Amino acid sequence: MTSRETASDEVNLADVLTDLGSAAQETAAALAENVGEGEAVVRAKLEEAEATIRDHPLLAVGVAAGVGFMLGLMLSGAGSRTEESSDDEE
């Protein structure tokens, strides 16, 4: 390889790295903008949920109790009959 080819390859590599850096900066800026928009949507939904809870506190307590009950059933495995059915077969 000649010194001209080496210098040309180095210039091309520098151009590629510069372009790659610029693309990374643009992507980071776009992601930051999307995160900001997403944060605004989440905050608005949270405020909406808080207003609903303030307006209907008994409904909120009922929903929370129902969700807690269902999670308790799922996590305890109370809905699973695999152990009982294998004991009955013996």
**Tokens 């091309």 found at:** 12
CB 73, CB 79: distance < 8 Å: yes
- Full pLDDT tens readout for the chain, 90 residues: 666 666 676 778 888 889 999 999 999 999 998 998 999 999 999 999 999 999 999 999 999 999 999 999 999 987 666 555 555 555
pLDDT for the residue numbered 12: 85
Measured distance CA(19)–CA(21) in Å, rounded = 5
